[in-house]
């Protein structure tokens, strides 16, 4: 679906990867690491200074019109609609551009308008809309033609939680239908919920590309377990803990999940005392990105 071969452009340096069809990829990294450049190269808005980019077996900058009919690209800093026209009239123009039959357009348009919540202001001109309203309509327009490839650059900026939830549901549905998703965002919760693979850019270099769970084990392996117990204090001396704290009958354990599992900890403690309640919390993608930003060095296992 998407191939980068030794690609250089602006800060991007010697980027190599292959994104198969149907994959949901989260593009993450510190600000200025090349995420938006990556997306613009993919859809042909930029031409590589060196190396080659192929999207759906086509050279993007030479086939923008052909790819445009199969690709939906959203950039937070790029206007999607004509300002003077209403939301509805902008959609009607897209119907003509995409050559959609009336019944198909009506079905897609009204479903998206209801789920993303722009039906209530469809008669208003775009210039009168708030940022959140504009975003909801723009994302609906992106999804209208059911593109095979969706590229999103900070898509949830300006959206309230209801709209974010609706967008997440729509993207998950498209993913299940075989659509390829590439999402660049600083919202690690959204990335983690939708994406199965991660591409981690750091100062233009591809530091990691692969399964999300492997990245978490690599950069953010810490987990926290809180245990309420009744009985004697368990002996923790032989456990590979980073640290622990005790307050009355509540234990808080921090540990590296690569070295010991939560099940192993529970078995050890259950053998010594009675546990009344347990909660666990894993580190997330935010912690992984923070460690990259702090310049911490890690080696893959």
Q: Kindly report the number of other CB atoms within 10 A of residue 65's CB atom.
A: 8
Residue 296 has pLDDT above 70, yes or no: no
Q: How far apart are CA 141 and CA 70, in angstroms?
A: 14
pTM over the 0.85 mark:
no
Q: Render the burial of 215-239: b for 16+ CB within 10 Å, e for the rest.
A: bbbbbbbebebebebeeeebeeeeb
Considering the chain, what is the average pLDDT of its residues?
90
pLDDT at res. 299: 44
Q: Kindly report, residue by residue over 230-257, the tens digit of the pLDDT.
A: 988 999 988 899 899 999 899 999 999 8
Q: Kindly report, residue by residue over 55-104, the tens digit of the pLDDT.
A: 999 999 999 888 888 999 999 888 889 999 999 999 999 999 999 999 99
Q: How far apart are CA 127 and CA 97, in angstroms?
A: 22
Q: With contact defined as beta carbons under 8 Å apart, do 56 and 16 qualify?
A: no
């Amino acid at each position: 679906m998407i191939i980068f071969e030794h690609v250089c452009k602006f800060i991007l340096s010697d980027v190599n990867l292959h994104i198969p069809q149907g994959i949901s990829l989260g593009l993450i990294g510190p600000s200025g690491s090349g995420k938006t450049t990556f997306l613009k190269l993919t859809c042909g808005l930029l031409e590589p200074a060196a190396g080659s980019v192929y999207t759906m077996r086509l050279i993007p900058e030479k086939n923008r019109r052909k790819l445009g009919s199969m690709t939906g690209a959203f950039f937070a800093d790029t206007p999607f609609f004509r300002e003077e026209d209403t939301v509805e009239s902008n959609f009607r123009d897209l119907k003509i551009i995409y050559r959609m039959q009336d019944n198909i357009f009506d079905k897609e348009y009204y479903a998206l308008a209801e789920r993303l919540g722009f039906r209530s202001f469809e008669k208003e001109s775009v210039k009168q809309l708030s940022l959140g309203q504009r975003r909801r309509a723009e994302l609906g327009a992106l999804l209208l033609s059911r593109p095979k490839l969706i590229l999103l650059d900070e898509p949830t900026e300006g959206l309230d939680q209801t709209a974010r939830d609706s967008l997440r549901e729509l993207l998950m549905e498209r993913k299940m239908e075989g659509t390829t998703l590439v999402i660049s965002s600083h919202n690690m919760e959204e990335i983690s919920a939708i994406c199965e693979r991660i591409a981690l850019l750091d100062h233009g270099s591809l530091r990691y590309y692969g399964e999300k769970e492997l990245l978490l084990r690599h950069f953010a392996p810490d987990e926290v377990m809180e245990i309420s117990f009744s009985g004697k204090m368990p002996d923790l001396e032989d456990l590979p803990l980073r640290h622990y704290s005790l307050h009355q009958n509540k234990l808080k354990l921090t540990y590296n999940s690569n070295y010991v599992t939560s099940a192993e900890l529970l078995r050890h403690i259950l053998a010594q005392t009675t546990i009344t309640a347990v909660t666990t919390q894993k580190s997330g993608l935010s912690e992984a990105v923070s460690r990259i930003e702090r310049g911490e060095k890690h080696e893959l296992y």
